[in-house]
Amino acid sequence: MAALPAAVLAVLGLLGLRLGCAAAAAPLVIWHGMGDSCCNPQSMGYIKKIVENKIPGIYVLSLKIGSNLIQDMENSFFMNVNDQVREVCSQLAQDPRLKGGYNAMGFSQGGQFLRAVAQRCPSPPMLNLISVGGQHQGSVYGFPRCPGESSHICDWIRKTLDLGAYTQAVQEHLVQAEYWHNPLKEEDYRKNSIFLADINQERGINETYKKNLMALKKFVMVKFLNDTMVDPPISEWFGFYKSGQAKETVPLKETSLYTEDRLGLQEMDKAGKLVFLGVQGDHLHFSEEWFYATILPFLQ
């Protein structure tokens, strides 16, 4: 059979592109927030379903820490975050469907936990990181609201954090203490925080952390504009209280983390890799329409 002319081959190539030879969407990894689980039909199960409906054929992995949903929920309060991150890194490395790279979306504390995955575990590669209400400079003061306001777990956590958030025993066994950032006790935080102070480079520069985070295509941060749970809400955009007081906040660009570029955020910002989104509503309250219009484009 005679070879087809180059012009015909070119036309066939164009037709192939137009008729659906586009690459499949990258897989999506989801990490839930405090007091939630991987597969709650009202939260992560719902997110998984609507993403799969809108992006046919996409592989969505909703992370489960533990052997069942009860353990998964309990571990969001009581399992050392560093151990959780190691467990997730292992899960991702062993999943053949992720080897070409994946997008990641973390809800509330899951946002900063997935950032730790990006910084510590570059294989398989994280492509885009979407943090939905993640507390990247930490949270503090009163533990304003946690799932189940009357829950004895929430009451116990509040008392424990107030009494000794930076003691070794509490740091090792209480998740929320590990991103507890008290602006009145900055030195205690820098010295004793076993998770957040590490991933935010408070005790020195880990160049590997910086390099790995900067490899992201986009780092998307969603702040809830009427948030009553995260204190201060600007932590969701990497801002925080001015040191030594708890009234005035500063945006990311005025923090030493940015001005000293300890994580590469300044360089990422200049390259257009940082995306700051605001949504009306309380913590993790958003509409399906907003999700489709604003978040879905980062997954396709």
- Cα 161 to Cα 158: distance, rounded to the nearest angstrom: 5
The residue type at 44: M
Q: Walk across the sheet containing 274-279 and list its strands.
A: 60-62, 28-31, 102-107, 126-132, 218-224, 274-279
Peptide bond into 56 cis (omega under 30): no
Known catalytic residues are 108, 227, 283
> Cα(119)–Cα(209) distance, rounded to whole angstroms?
4
- To which H or E segment does residue 222 belong? strand 218-224
207-214 and 109-120 helices, crossing angle to 10°: 110
DSSP notation for 99-114: TT-EEEEEETHHHHHH
Geometric angle at alpha carbon 253, from 178 and 102, rounded to 5°: 60
| Spatial contact of 177 and 160, defined as CB atoms under 8 Å apart | yes
